Amino acid sequence: MAGAEVPDIVIGRLPIYLRALTLLAEAGQEFTSSQELGQILSIGSAQIRKDLSHFGEFGKQGTGYEVSYLRDQISRILHVDRDWSLALVGFGDLGQAIAHYGGFSSKGFHITAVFDADPEVVGQSFGDGAVRHVDTLKEVVSDMRIRMAIVAVPAAAAQDVTDMLIEADVKAILNYAPITLSVPSHVHVQYIDPVAHLQKMTYYLA
Amino acid sequence: MAGAEVPDIVIGRLPIYLRALTLLAEAGQEFTSSQELGQILSIGSAQIRKDLSHFGEFGKQGTGYEVSYLRDQISRILHVDRDWSLALVGFGDLGQAIAHYGGFSSKGFHITAVFDADPEVVGQSFGDGAVRHVDTLKEVVSDMRIRMAIVAVPAAAAQDVTDMLIEADVKAILNYAPITLSVPSHVHVQYIDPVAHLQKMTYYLA
């Protein structure tokens, strides 16, 4: 119930529920059910009801869940009912793609500072700003009170960059570099590794 | 043991082990242990030993695992000891970034056909080829015997594109569109959703 510590795996499913509810709301649907959400998401309806019960009573017998209400409640629980500033470290091919990708800012995640170590890259423009030298990372990120960062540097540089981010008081890192980062327990890390996803699937292909 | 069905979650960890072993091999290290791998990857050493035991006996009491041998064995198990052709559907910002990203082909995943629906985009060049119209997808993917695809189209188009890929006999899809795809049970889907990862972390930030 509300207040108790919620398992991390349940938290990980909330963004998926939020995504489905947002699509339903955009389609003008007023009510949904754990059965319908389960069908959309290929998750069991009992699992969905149990996950949501950690945070309170959102559904009504007979009518189910009110789509926009549940969407707003999950937004609030995840703290995505506000905007977040992000630092992006690395402005190579991948970093540029991330900086130009519209999917972050449309969900309230704004890349407000970009860093790179290459003197040829420093000064290039992105969105509203210019790429800064990574040597200024700690000062700039601290001053701007940025608490989230995206790491898009080569594997060999990722731990050093991560250490700098942690010194600047960053609490959450989305890591695209293909290594496991070493961080203190109060810092959250999530990994994006498309090659690992492909390699998992080839197991099943003859 | 070898031959029995291995849990999907174990298969999902093999690419992570492979990544660590590849890094160790590149650093010139000859032997490793489940303890060392566990430390690198923040996974328990007992878990690693148990996972690997599904596929045979790779370690020796006293000396541990031979790095390059274990790397080669996991490559073989995952079928990544060969090259794979991929179709990429969607050549917008995200699709272009994926096409230009060097991390796929360096691991043996080659984007050999690219499709888009926009007449202005069709004909643009990528790597060794030109973007084709999505109307030709089924024929081209069938003819080229491509079995894996990356979906990088807007959410609204993703299911239609997926249906076409399945008709063309694609068996594995890496989906960047922010929706859950409906596929028959013989088709494998993995999801890349960086926003969901960010939203999971903001839960833990005040």
ipTM of the complex: 0.93
> For B74-121, how does the pLDDT look when each residue is reduced to its tens digit (9 = 90+)?
999 999 999 999 999 999 888 988 888 878 998 999 999 999 999 999
* Residues in chain B closer than 8 A to A147 (CB atoms): 205
Instruction: Give chain B's length.
Output: 206
Q: Does A2 contact chain B (CB < 8 Å)? A: no
Tell me, what's the pLDDT at A57? 87
Block residue for tokens 């998926």: A16
Q: Compare B88 and B64 and report the one with higher pLDDT.
A: B88
* Residue A77 at interface with chain B, using a CB cutoff of 8 Å: yes
HSE, side-chain direction, 13 A CA sphere, residue A70? 32
Question: Does the beta carbon of A38 lie under 8 angstroms from any beta carbon of chain B?
Answer: no
Q: Where are the domains of chain A?
A: 8-77, 84-196
Report pTM.
0.85
User: Do A97 and B94 count as a contact with CB atoms less than 8 A apart?
Assistant: yes
> How many whole angstroms separate alpha carbon B74 and alpha carbon A200?
11
Letter for the amino acid at A121?
V
- Contact between B80 and A202 using a beta-carbon 8 Å cutoff: yes
| Pair of tokens at residue A77 | 């629980």
Confidence band for A4, pLDDT divided at 50, 70 and 90: low
CATH of domain A84-196: 3.40.50.720
pLDDT confidence of residue A75 = 97
* Residue in B138, B133, B94 with CA at minimum distance from that of residue B115: B133
The rounded percent of chain B whose pLDDT value lies above 70 is 98
Which of B179, B201, B206 is nearest residue A190 as measured by Cβ atoms?
B201
Query: Is the Cβ pair A199, B41 closer than 8 Å?
Result: no
Q: Do B197 and A190 touch (CB under 8 A)?
A: yes
Q: Would you place residue A195 in the very low, low, confident or very high pLDDT band (cuts 50, 70, 90)?
A: very high
Residues B108 and B117: their CA atoms lie apart, in Å, by 27
Give A-chain residues touching B91 at CB under 8 angstroms: none
pLDDT of amino acid A147? 98
Q: What is the nearest CA distance from A121 to chain B, expressed in angstroms?
A: 17
One fold for A8-77 and A84-196: no
Which chain A residue has its CA at the smallest distance from B43's CA? A180
Closest Cα to residue B37, out of B77, B76, B74, B80?
B74
pLDDT at residue B1, as a whole number: 43
pLDDT at B97: 83
For residue A184, what is the nearest residue in chain B, using CA coordinates? B42
C-beta neighbour count of A184 within 10 angstroms: 6
Any chain B CB within 8 A of the CB of A196? yes
Q: What is the pLDDT of residues A91-112, one digit of tens each?
A: 988 898 888 887 899 899 999 9
CB A195 within 8 A of CB B202: no
Across the range A16-40, mean pLDDT stands at 94
**Mean per-residue pLDDT over chain A, rounded:** 93
Count CB-CB contacts under 10 A for residue B145: 9
Q: DSSP character for B64?
A: E
Q: CA-based Rg of chain B, rounded to a whole angstrom?
A: 20
Nearest to A24 by CA among B163, B155, B154, B173: B155
Classify B124 as helix, strand or coil: coil
Dump the DSSP string for B139-178. Answer: HHHHHTT--EEEE-S-HHHHHHHHHHHHHTT--EEEE-SS
Percent of chain A with pLDDT over 90: 79
Q: Does A9 touch chain B (CB under 8 A)?
A: no
CA torsion sign, A51 to A57 to A62 to A65?
Answer: negative
Is residue A188 over pLDDT 60?
Answer: yes
Pick the CATH number of B8-77 from 1.10.10.10, 2.60.40.1120, 2.60.120.560, 1.20.1630.10: 1.10.10.10
Q: Is A15's CB within 8 Å of B147's CB?
A: no
Are A37 and A20 a contacting pair, CB within 8 Å? yes
**pLDDT tens-place string over residues B12-58:** 999 999 999 998 999 999 999 999 999 989 899 999 999 999 998 88
